[in-house]
Structure 1
Amino acid sequence: MIRRLSLLLSVILSMSHAMAVDTGNMVTPRFRSLQVTVDGNELAPPVITLNSDDKVTIAFDELAEDRSYLRYSLVHCDASWQPSGLVESEYLDGFNQADVEDYSFSRSTTVHYVHYSVTLPNQHMTMKFSGNYMMRVYSEDDPDVNLLQARFSVSESKVRINGEASSRTDTGSDNGNQQLSFTVDASGVDVKNMLSDLKVVVSRNGRTDDVVMLESPQRINGRIAYYEHLRNLIFPGGNEYRRFENTSVDFPTMGVESIDYEYPYYHVTLFRDAPRVGEQYRYDSTQYGRFKVREYNSDDSDVEADYMITHFILDMPELYDYDIYIDGDMTCRRFSPESMMRYDAESNSYRGALLLKQGAYNYQYLAVPKGGKRGVTSVIEGDCHPTVNEYLISVYYREPGARYDRLLGSTVIYSGY
């Protein structure tokens, strides 16, 4: 028990000292289970349409017995998720400070927490501009320190994006890669220069470490931009995400080897994982790294699901040139001390522990070269060309003389179908 608790404590403490200031999804150690959903859909990218009935909800937990007096505000960001530098009154109707008013206390759980949620737009603030937004949450006593950050986007839905992801790439076929090809029809927008004024951002499976930005298309024909035969649209296929469910404290569920209670936490040990490089591809229906909060016997899992220390074991020799991380929405897609696996020479395996709320989870292991910032799947998960990946394509436009990037439209393309 001491070894398990010391491992979790060490990664949480190191996380609090190493926290960097940026605009990515982020939670400080006492906050957990950050989810950004659109109209209750937990399995869709966080993009809403400007001046529509769409709603985006940011939900999270605070590990505490009593509520904190939290506030939130919005920052408009450019296509690269850096602050646009706009005055708040330019991009918002209303006041850019509001209290987090929607909260509930956990019930019948071993770990006490407060569940919060914010839905936008609301009576306090409405987004006037399209583009990227970062919501920051902070204490009313210390407004300069972000306790939590969450990303979402607001689209004008004025362009049509059509395309496909194929295993037939410009580097050959059946080589573990996938290539995107797509068109952007901007007939409904007065884009001054189709070759230079559009920015297209491609991300896959919610990852933030391997995002591709395209400054110009391969060619144009009238009001249609073609993005074809571009080497930076060739992606490693990766593999289907691994899955587990820790929905019960009474019996093991999917992917769980054992459950035991060691005060003050339940401990869930997953079945041991192994590298999949070289294995035959196996299709599995996954959610591209997302998670769904669920306690199998509850009608209100948001406040009745418990928190458990979940133990990951990856059987493989030590890699001296890479660090290994658990990737998924449950880690906010961060290569942090908390999500980093640590090698145990005695068992010849990598081990990690995360304090997670009961639910259904997707994850994968990414190998990050020492000193690098981009994870690769080829080292542990393997790259398979039939893998089903979710590619989010977002089209931005900055008008001549403008000070912000409009999001003209976005769409999702799936590979493997």
Structure 2
Amino acid sequence: MTSQFKYFIVLVFISFLGNAQVEEINPPNYIKTISFKGSTTESQLPILKLGEPLLLEFDALLGNEPDFYYVIEHYNYDWTPSNLVKSEYLSGFDNQRIQDYKNSFNTYQIYSHYILQIPNQQTRGLLVTGNYLISIFNDDDQLVFSRKFMIYEDRVSVGVSVKRSRDVKSIDQKQSVDIVINNSNFNFNNPLENVKSLIVQNNNLNTAISNVKPQYTLGNQLVYKYTTETSFWGGNEYLYFENKDVRAANVGVQFIDLKDIYHNYLFINTPRANQIYTYNPDINGNFVITAVDSEDVSIEADYTMIHFALEHPELTNGESIYVYGNYNNYALEPDNQLLYNAETRLYETAFRLKQGFYNYKYVVVDKNGVLNEGAISGNYYQTENNYKVLVYYRDLGARYDRLIGLGEASSVDISN
């Protein structure tokens, strides 16, 4: 189909959404290792300064070099479509084919590695701040996957500090985020209504806190010091494994086997919810692709079947157990759901991952779809978590929400 028709499909899709919040679409099984970041950060949730390059990479495990196309849309703070037309937020053109790709070399699993950098020759840059969604389509105009990202400008300074919970009932399990927005060089009109904030823990939008209004103003400062509204469950340090050498068991890998591809069997994990907190350095759910004896890990790192096993009593009230991390964008999909094996008395699952160092955790979803991240790993105030605070502002008569500030803090500096 023509590129004009593809663009028409996207416009119809956006119009259909109306005022509905857009959600990220997770990829099918043949799309793996989506790496989405800026030029200076390894985060899988790009929060970029206006003008900073954007880099999206992924693998297609098909072996036939399929074509993919990208479309970029601008959104409001609440992820409803903004009123801007494309020329107002994008310089150049999107809806272009991703031309930069290369095929795997000397691997059991054949794949093609795709690289999209913005700006490029067709898409020269993004013009305004705010929320964005990039959607990847195949040659049949089918939406393959989509990812959210944000563009900000430094108009206000955002002070962030992490405290122990002020609620004595959860003082040992939760972390509270205090915020001070200094707008001495920026004039707010009606800040209680026009300023909006988003608090993100470990780059996971699924657990982010939004729609928290400033508690009070103090001169040129907006202050947030709530008891419960800005508090997160502390969670626990992520589990991890590394399989940079597919021919030998490495960190977290108990033993290996070679079938059609290499199979890595991780050590059996046990629940940590009722144990004493133990410091265990992690990378807050992220992953890094690594492979020994490789000059270009993007095409020389192989795919292995990773076998997860959790020692846990069988759940009988409709709950489900998943293993997730930044490697799959914290998705809850059939692929990463663990099923109970009555013979081994273990919850088990297996899926393909590219060689590397991975953080992961086990989470429980109840029969109503409510996520409980700490049911298996526990919640501890001592856990080292990363927090980002994004500040949005829409002036009187404006047609979109600007992202005017970004603050960041780690709970390694937590205080009472």
On whether the aligned pair clears a TM of 0.5, the verdict is yes
In structure 2, C-alpha distance between the alignment counterparts of 1:40 and 1:116, rounded to whole Å: 20
Alignment partner, residue 92 of structure 2: 94
Q: What's the offset of the Cα at 1:307?
A: 0.7
Secondary structure of 2:376's aligned partner: coil
Q: Does the C-alpha gap of structure 1 residues 172 and 181 become closer, same or farther in structure 2, counting only changes over 3 Å?
A: farther
1:147 aligns with 2:147: no
Deviation, structure 1 residue 405: 1.4
The reply on whether 1:304 has 2:303 as its aligned counterpart is no
Letter in 2 for 1:129: V
Correspondent of 2:338 among 331, 338, 341: 341
Structure 1 residue 245: deviation in Å?
0.6
Q: Which residue of 1 aligns with 2:312?
A: 316
Q: Which residue of 1 aligns with 2:326?
A: 329
Between the aligned residues of both structures, percent identity stands at 31
Query: What amino acid is the match of 2:214?
Result: P
- Deviation of 1:45 (Å): 4.6
Deviation at 1:86, TM superposition (A): 2.8
Distance (whole Å) between structure 2 residues aligned to residue 45 and residue 411 of structure 1: 15
Displacement of 1:151 in angstroms is: 2.0
Aligned 8 A contact 2:273 2:378 in 1: yes
Distance (whole Å) between structure 2 residues aligned to residue 222 and residue 166 of structure 1: 23
CA deviation vs aligned residue, 1:169-218 (integer Å, no higher than 9, x gap): 23367521111111111223232111111110111112232221134111
Q: Which runs of 5+ in 1 are unaligned?
A: 1-20
- The reply to whether residue 179 of structure 1 matches residue 173 of structure 2 is no
1:18 is matched with none
User: Conserved in 2, the CA contact under 8 Å of 1:25 and 1:332?
Assistant: no
Q: How much does 1:122 deviate?
A: 2.5
Does 1:232 find its partner at 2:199?
no
- How far off its partner does 1:75 sit? 1.0
Contact 2:307 2:348 (8 Å CA) reproduced? yes
CA RMSD of aligned residues (A): 1.8
User: What amino acid maps onto 2:287 in structure 1?
Assistant: F
Give 2:103's aligned amino acid: F
Contact 1:73 1:97 in 2 (8 A): yes
Deviation at 1:150, TM superposition (A): 2.0
Describe how 1:221-370 pairs up with structure 2 within 5 A.
221-262=218-259, 264-321=260-317, 322-370=319-367
* 2:200 equivalent in structure 1: 203
After TM superposition, the runs of 4+ consecutive aligned structure 1 residues lying more than 4 A away are none
- CA offset digits 1:390-413 (Å, max 9, x no partner): 111111112222232111111221
1:133 maps to 132
Give the C-alpha shift of residue 82 in structure 1. 3.3
**How many Å apart are 1:246 and its aligned residue?**
1.5
Q: Cα deviations across residues 6-34 of structure 1 (Å, max 9, x unaligned)?
A: xxxxxxxxxxxxxxx95326222211100
Secondary structure of 2:299's aligned partner: helix
| Structure 1 CA distance for aligned equivalents of residues 243 and 337 of structure 2 | 21
1:72 alignment partner, SS class: strand
Question: In structure 1, how many angstroms separate the alpha carbons of the residues matched to 2:145 and 2:44?
Answer: 21
Q: Distance in 2 between matches of 1:317 and 1:44?
A: 33
Query: 1:409 is matched with which residue?
Result: 405
Q: Secondary structure at the match of 1:210?
A: strand
TM-score (norm 2): 0.90
Map of 2:70 onto structure 1: 72
Measure how far apart 1:43 and its partner are: 4.4
Asked if 1:382 corresponds to 2:366, the answer is: no
Query: 1:11: which partner in 2?
Result: none
Tell me the residue number matched to 1:117: 115
Counterpart residue type for residue 23 of structure 1:
E
- Tell me the SS of whatever aligns to 1:325: strand
CA distance in 2, matches of 1:251, 1:177: 39
* Structure 1 residue 44 displacement after superposition: 7.2
Letter in 2 for 1:24: E
Answering whether residue 390 of structure 2 is matched by residue 391 of structure 1, we say no
1:43-81, Cα deviation, whole Å (9 max, x unpaired): 475111113xx2120110001223122211101122233
Report if aligned partners of 2:36, 2:43 keep a CA contact under 8 Å in 1: no
After superposition, the C-alpha distances for 1:285-339 in whole angstroms (9 at most, x for unaligned) are: 2111111111122121000001111010000101233211112012221111112
The change in CA–CA distance for 1:173 and 1:332 in structure 2 (over 3 A counts) is closer
Name the structure 1 match of 2:33: 33
CA distance in 2: counterparts of 1:291 and 1:250, whole angstroms: 20
SS at match of 2:336: coil
Please, what TM-score do these two structures have when normalized by structure 1? 0.89
User: 1:170, 1:229 within 8 Å by CA — same for their partners in 2?
Assistant: no
Q: Distance in 2 between matches of 1:163 and 1:333?
A: 24
